[in-house]
Structure formats: structure tokens, C-alpha cells
Chains A and B, each alone.
Chain A
């Protein structure tokens, strides 16, 4: 995995370069052959310079210029079998929308995407494209480098941003009221898709959200510098404009029981999209010392309650000098980069496999490195050591080596006996994943779950309880925004079919 060559140019330089490249390409005035297309240089994502961005919370990746987008879209050879579509969890017509960008028809491009995806501005930013559509891309295969695949995600973001910034976002049409009510529990990506798709059929939809702001992980989890909150808010505003009702500060299982929604409150169907919100800990010595946080807590304080705004926020956030982040996923990168922005002097990522096995997006790993985050691979925490005040001061680590592949297909890390060593840290952020949230299960009789607490559903996303559907991380375990959306779409279809057949 190479991260070299990233952010060598300023956004202005990239835009100028693209203008020139495009002019020379079009000056030939003849149709582009696949060979010509493969010769177009992959377009680098303009970004805030590392030194500047570590002092602010604004978005790092700035988005393509029009010329860059056109050049990138012209790199697509429009191959017949379109393997990229197979790689997309929601089966977007990728060559179709890329071609529309190449033809400068942005409206057509966004319309094509929106046939399958409700949240392109979000997915264009946070999807792990390199293991989905772009992994399969023929251009990347021809150039023998998956990093040279067409940047489908950046193009998706480009047209989604064009739509939003030019006031082209439309409120989807809603069929006449059916008088039937549907409850959606949680307001993350899966839930938003269900709400939109079910509302479009004319059913009344109420979203119940436990926090005081809707958006789920897109609001409390993913930081502003990776996903600006105003983008999420606009998607939510669209739902409200469609007539979806959102009840915040409402915990199903506590404020109201799930079964009461159906038995007493007249909801004809319920969708459970409560996510994977129960942080995993390592169950090692010293884990409850002061200064040891779950990534969820650390990120929520910063993102949802804006603790990074130290002048205005009432919510405190730990003042750290040396931070260890345990884990190698996007949440680990988000935590590390948040700590950098909050003023930590040194931030270390500790991961027990190698960089190749890290589940984080390549771009996030690259950005973290550029921002000075120090990576320790093939190492893992063994115990946390504290002082007389019960505050963490050191982490004892072990070195690892890679053994045989495990059930996830990744090579299993094996500890090297006697390799213990100690590093000084005043803050530890545990970002090793989430288990499913237990609240609904605890408070709903007859809802079948796996031994890990994930709700069991059939191929229509229906649970063991009549009229109750589920999707997203509460079913999948911690996964991605796009997979959650795919599940939401399927659940909405099942709910709409169920209600269509009833008076």
C-alpha cells in the first residue's frame, strides 16, 4: 500500500494542471480510444495541507474541480461487463453516471446514482471504495494497480456536492397518504433509507432517536473533518420536508417498549436500525483507569457535543499529551486524527496486524500519517499501568507476527513470547469495534438474536416478531454506511409490500 505522492500539489495547482491536461486531450478532436483513456493521469484529490488542517476541524478532502472530474470520468473505458457494479453493495449503474459526468450532464449523473443510493454525498466520502467498486475496476486491473482504478467515490461525491451546492436537491415525491403508520428506530444510514422509501409510498413515518440530534453514527461518530455535519443535516431536512416525523430524546425499549408501538400506538410496521453501539473493550488489566476511553465516548464528546470548541462547549474532553489509539479501522483513524486536532503532542496507533490488514480506508491511513500520527504495527496492548490517582500513565505492549489466515481471511497475529515493552501514555482510546446495542433485545420478548446479540432476520429483513424488521449494524455487526443502506432499502421494500397487501 503506497501512500506516497499524496498532497504534493495545492488545490489550485491541481485545478490548473487538470485544465491543461483536459485542453490538450480535447484538442485532438477525435474520439478517445481505450489506450488514450488509460493514459490520462489519475486525478489526485485536492486536500487541505497537513500543517493547516491539524489546526482546524474543517473537511480535509476538498473535492475535484470540474476539469478534474471530467478527466477522471474520461479514464473510465466503459467496459461491457462493468465489474464495478458487482462491487457496489447497492448496485449503482457506475459506468452510466461516470459517462454522464464525462458528458458534463451532472443532473443525469446524480439522477442515476439516486436511483439506488439515497446518500451519495455521504457515501462518496466514507465508502471503502478500494474494497468495493474500485477493487474490481478494469482500468485498475489494466494498469496493474488498484490505486489507479477510476476514482468512482470521488466522482460520486463530486456530483452529489454539485447537486447540493447548486440548490438542485429535490424533495422526492410522496404518494397520497395511506393512513398507515411505520416506526423507524434509530436515525443512522439504514434508518434514513427506510424512512425515505416507506414515506414515498404515502405511509406516515416516525423516526425515534435516542440522542438529541438525528443522524446516528454520521453525526456522533464520523468527525467533521471527514464528513461535514451540514451534509448530513441536509439529508435529514429532506426527510422532514417529505413529512417524516423525527422524535429525538426517545429511547425505544425505555421511553416506550417496541411491542407497545404495534400493540398500543397503532404502528403497522417497525424497523429496528439501532446500530452496533456497544463499545468492545480488551478485558485487560487497567482498562478502567482514568484516561482510558472507548472511541465512541471520545468521538461523541468531540463530534456531537462539539467539545473541540473549547471556548463554547460545556462538555469536557480529556486534555491529552501522549495518546495511544488501539485498532486499525476507520474509527481508530478518526480518533487519532481528532486527538491531533485537540492538541495532543504525540498520537500513536497500535495495531496487532500489519498495515495491509488494516480495515481503514487507504485515504484515512494516508491522511493520518500526513498529520503525524505514529503507526505501530504488529504490536498490541497487554495491560494499562496507572499512577496513585488511578490515571493511566503507561501501556505495556507485546510484539506480534503474522501466522496462518483466520476466519476473516486475514493472517492471524500471533504474539511473540517475552517481547513485552512499555510506552508512556496519558490517554488511551480503545477502537477495536462495537458489539450490538443490547437495549432493544433486553426489553423485547421474543426477538431472536445471535449469541453476539445481532438481530436475526430473513431475506426480507424480517425479524422473529411479526411486523418488525431490522437492518444495518444491529444485524450485520459493525459494518459500513453503504451496507447499512442496502439493508435499509431491502427492509423498506418488504414493509411497503406488507402494507400494500393490507387494508
Chain B
């Protein structure tokens, strides 16, 4: 049981929670994630990235988008409630050293796991350029936190409501064309964004790391549900990743695998919606 210490809604369906997890807070390194579930029986186990940690307080910070059954349920928990099961830190930490200039591209909720990586890269003495991408101004997260550490911060929105009206690949391409070009790019966000970041940097030969968030059950190598094709080889995101060379990842296969259970989830969603409307009905009849 891990107690929720704070809860904040960052945008329409994005939430930030500080959760009690003393061991994870001191062991975790940038790039790692946790798996949680909300009850012992019947609940699904979902991987979430660690956005931050406070070893002194014994807490970790998770940021998530309420899109599926579990994340919606999680978003309804309050301070003082507990998460039934939380395990981590899982996955291999990001390899951090002084590369020179590092571009960190975070799209949507992907800015959350990018934050500790950006922190680490800065601390290691890199020149840090951060690109934050979001659909609109409301969905930009961690801007202040990133501004505090980045040597250069570029914000893009799809609708132009904030920063540049552009996709993240546009400024990324410009950075690749600079002299000297970046020594490393790290991209975390929706698979389609990571795919296009990788194809943007490929012609410039800028090494690009991506962090994959796949379907997972145990997170320790046991289930193989998280497998991805990287350079024609099968890799497990949980024990071989979650970071891989973006130029080698078969994103199309990964995106299809992510949709494996879409039909079933739709079914759960429909049940939920019905339940919600029933509750609503009952309330109005009172």
C-alpha cells in the first residue's frame, strides 16, 4: 500500500501525484518506471514513468493521463488514499554522461519522464535544449521545471495557442542543422512523435534515444508482452529497455501491439460509461 501525499490536476485529464515509496525514491534513476495496480484481484497492472522523487520525504511523483480504466480510477483517488500495489523502479536507468549538447524532446505526457533525464543530463555538464510539445496551451506541463534547468527551451503547440505553432520535429530539424549539431537527442512522447523524431534526426546522424511505454504485465521479463522489434531483433522493454536507439525501433509494429486490447478496453469503457450515467441518473432522481 502506497499512500497518496498530494494530488494536482495539471490539465483536462492529466494528473500529478506524490506517492509514498521510500525505497523507490532513493533507488530510482532517470529513465526508470513503476508498475501499479489498484487492487489485488481483478485489477490490471500498468506501467507509469517516474517524473520526480524526493528521497528525504520518501516520495515519488507520477504524472499520468486518465485515458484507460486504471488511470481513470487512479485519478479519482484523493490525498490520504492508498495505491494497493506499486513496484519499482523498473527498467534500466538512462545512460547519463557528458555528451556535449543534448536535445530533450517531450511530447504531451512524455514531458514527465523526460524531466529527470533532462535534470541528469544538465547535472552531467551537458548543454541542455528542451523541446516541449503539446496539442494546446492547456496541455503544456512542467514548463517552469524545465525552464529552470534548460539552456534553451522551445515550446510548440499544434494549435498555436502557446509558443510556436509547429510539431516538435520542426525545431528538432533546425537544431540538427545547426553547427555544431546536437550530440544526442532524447525523445519521449506518443509513439508516432518518437517515430518522426527518429526519422528527423536520422539524415543528420544524430544518435536518438526513445523511451518506450508498451503493454506490460510483470515488468521483470516474465511475460514478454512488452516485446518490440529493434534492429530486426526482439527486445523486452522491461529488461532490455525502456530506452532504445530510435533509429532501429520498428515503431509501426510497436503501435499495432499497443492496440492489442483496444476492442476489450472499449467494452470496459462502455460498461463504465453506462455505470456513470446510471449513477448520474440516480443522483438527479434523488
Contact residues of A with B, CB < 8 Å? Answer: 210-213, 220, 248-251, 254-256, 277-279, 281, 283, 287-291, 293-294, 296-297, 300-301, 305-306, 309, 312-319, 389-391, 437-439, 442
Contact = CB atoms under 8 A, between A and B. Distances in A.
Given A287-B234, A439-B221, A316 B265 contact: yes
B23 A313 contact: no
B19 to A, nearest CB: 13
B47 to A, nearest CB: 13
A318 B260 contact: yes
B54 to A, nearest CB: 17
Contact of A256 (B27, B41, B265): B27
Interface string B253-274: 1001101110111001000000
Interface string B212-226: 000001111111110
Contacts, number: 134
3 closest Cβ pairs, A-B complex: A390-B256, A316-B264, A294-B224
B229 A249 contact: no
Contacts of A314: 42-44, 69-70, 268
Given A300-B218, A438-B221, A439-B221, A316 B227 contact: no
Contacts of B234: 281, 283, 287-288
B42 A305 contact: yes
Interface of B: 23-24, 27, 32, 37, 40-45, 69-70, 84-90, 217-225, 227-229, 234, 236, 239, 250, 252-253, 256-257, 259-261, 263-265, 268
User: Which residue of A249, A256, A389, A390 has the most chain B CB atoms within 10 A of its CB atom?
Assistant: A249
A314 to B, nearest CB: 5
Given A255-B23, A288-B253, A390-B257, A312 B42 contact: yes
B260 to A, nearest CB: 5
Nearest to B253: A288
B86 A278 contact: no
B260 A290 contact: yes
Contacts of A254: 27, 32, 88-90, 220
A6 to B, nearest CB: 33
A447 to B, nearest CB: 16
Given A314-B69, A317-B264, 17 more contacts: A212-B87, A249-B87, A255-B23, A255-B24, A256-B27, A278-B239, A288-B250, A288-B257, A294-B225, A300-B217, A300-B218, A306-B41, A314-B43, A316-B261, A316-B264, A390-B256, A439-B220
Contact of A290 (B43, B250, B259): B259
User: Which residue of B87, B221, B236 has the most chain A CB atoms within 10 A of its CB atom?
Assistant: B221
Contacts of A290: 256-257, 259-260
A249 B86 contact: yes
A300 B86 contact: no
6 contacts: A251-B219, A256-B27, A290-B257, A291-B260, A300-B217, A319-B263
A91 B10 CA distance: 62
Contacts of B45: 212, 305, 315
A247 to B, nearest CB: 10
A113 B90 CA distance: 41
At the interface, is chain A mostly helix, strand, loop or mixed?
loop
A301 B217 contact: yes
B42 A250 contact: no
A296 B222 contact: yes
A389 B263 CA distance: 13
Nearest to B84: A212
A309 B42 contact: yes
Contact of B222 (A248, A277, A287, A317): A277
Given A250-B87, A288-B229, A290-B257, A279 B223 contact: yes
A250 B253 CA distance: 31
Contacts of B219: 210, 251
A36 B130 CA distance: 86
Nearest to B69: A314
A442 B90 CA distance: 13
A236 B218 CA distance: 21
A274 to B, nearest CB: 9
Contact of A255 (B88, B218, B229): B88
A278 B218 CA distance: 11
A256 B23 CA distance: 8
A318 B262 CA distance: 10
B42 A313 contact: yes
A281 B234 CA distance: 9
Contacts of B222: 220, 277-279, 296, 300, 437
B111 to A, nearest CB: 24
A486 B45 CA distance: 33
